[in-house]
């Protein structure tokens, strides 16, 4: 697959927006965004994911988001389904910011209505007209792990993973180099953190894979290799071509 490479320019600038004017977007623009939701590229095309743009009155949220617009995401209750949601919806996060709108991933909330049968609520994404700058001025403004902490060898091509957003900024990714391949791992959380971050960290991994796919020069694929090296404290997610 190939994702829109232009979105790569947003990765070193993007940020979560939590402050909105409260103004609604024009109906035509919401329609354009609905069309775009339908065009996002899945990582696992066989896994159902239902994305909808709804009004704020249709969601329950612990944080007082002032924007009238939310994306809701429902999918199956499996790690791969949550990884897929992260991969798909991060394309939207980058796109929204590329057109000057604010957005934020939100785990602390859910739609008021029931999700379709067989699916479970995955995540919300409020978005809209920001009352603060939607982009950062420089990479120094990111609070992130160092390159050495996220990979077995420092690699400028992994900057896109290092800067990815994650639930509570947990940054659960780790990359191992092997020839032309990058093996991608997710940190194994203890039982307590697993309860709160389990599903969220899968979404985080999908976000990191989306950033790899956006910056990949050629065709992006995720493979599961039988003989991928085991890394203590981490779960193997898959292998991607060196970018
Ligand atoms: C899966 C996921 C869930 C998140 N849930 C929330 C949330 O409930 N409330 C919130 O304010 N931010 C939430 N965030 C935003 C993170 O706190 C934020 O991405 C992280 O601190 C890094 O900051 P940045 O996005 O500004 O770079 C979430 C992010 C992700 C990826």
**Rounded CA gap, 110 and 42, in Å?**
22
Do 28 and 123 share a structural domain? yes
Q: Are 98 and 10 in contact (CB under 8 A)?
A: yes
Given 88, 108, 128, the domain boundary residue is 128
CATH code at 156?
3.40.109.30
Mutation to probe ligand 1, out of 72, 88, 105 (largest number of atoms < 8 A from CB) = 105
Overall average pLDDT of the 208-219 stretch: 92
Say if ligand 1 is within 6 A of residue 167 CB: yes
Ramachandran region, residue 221 (left: φ > 0; alpha: ψ -120 to 50; beta: rest): beta
Given 77, 95, 128, the domain boundary residue is 128
Say if ligand 1 is within 6 A of residue 102 CB: no
Residue 125 confidence (pLDDT) above 90:
yes
Q: At what angle do helices 191-215 and 79-98 cross, to 10 degrees?
A: 50
Q: What pLDDT, on a 0 to 100 scale, did the predictor assign at position 220?
A: 93
The Cα angle at residue 208 between residues 112 and 51, in degrees rounded to 5: 30
Mean model confidence pLDDT for the chain: 96
Least confident of 41-45, 105-109, 138-142, 195-199: 195-199
Given 94, 128, 162, the domain boundary residue is 128
Overall average pLDDT of the 14-40 stretch: 98
Query: Which residues 6+ apart lie within 8 Å of 138 measured at CB?
Result: none
Do 102 and 189 share a structural domain? no
Specify the ligand 1 atom closest to the Cα of 168: 17
Which residue, judged by its Cα, is nearest atom 21 of ligand 1?
Answer: 169
Residue 242 confidence (pLDDT) above 80:
no
- 92 CA to middle of ligand 1, Å? 15
Number of independent structural domains in the chain: 2
**Rounded CA gap, 96 and 93, in Å?**
5
Say if ligand 1 is within 6 A of residue 15 CB: yes
Q: What is the band of 190 on the pLDDT scale with cuts at 50, 70, 90?
A: confident
pLDDT in tens, 151-177: 999 899 999 999 999 999 999 999 999
Where in the sequence is the domain holding 16, given as residue range(s)? 5-128
pTM higher than 0.85? yes
């Amino acid at each position: 697959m190939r994702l829109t490479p232009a979105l790569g320019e947003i990765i070193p600038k993007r940020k979560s927006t939590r402050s909105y004017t409260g103004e609604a977007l024009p109906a035509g623009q919401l329609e354009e965004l609905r069309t775009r939701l339908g065009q996002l590229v899945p990582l696992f095309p066989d896994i159902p994911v239902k994305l909808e743009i709804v009004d704020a009155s249709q969601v329950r949220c612990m944080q007082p988001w002032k924007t009238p617009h939310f994306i809701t995401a429902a999918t199956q209750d499996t790690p791969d389904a949550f990884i897929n949601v992260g991969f798909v919806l991060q394309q939207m996060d980058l796109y929204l910011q590329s057109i000057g709108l604010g957005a934020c991933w939100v785990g602390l909330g859910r739609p008021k209505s029931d999700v379709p049968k067989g699916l479970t609520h995955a995540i919300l994404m409020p978005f809209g007209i920001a009352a603060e700058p939607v982009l950062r001025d420089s990479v120094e403004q990111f609070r992130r792990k160092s390159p050495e902490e996220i990979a077995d060898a420092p690699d400028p091509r992994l900057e896109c993973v290092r800067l990815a957003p994650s639930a509570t900024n947990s940054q659960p990714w780790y990359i191992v180099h092997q020839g032309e391949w990058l093996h991608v791992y997710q940190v194994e959380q203890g039982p307590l953190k697993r309860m709160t971050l389990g599903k969220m960290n899968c979404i985080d991994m999908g976000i990191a894979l989306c950033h790899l796919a956006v910056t990949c020069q050629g065709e992006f694929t995720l493979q599961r290799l039988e003989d991928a090296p085991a890394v203590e404290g981490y779960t193997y997610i898959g292998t991607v071509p060196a970018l």
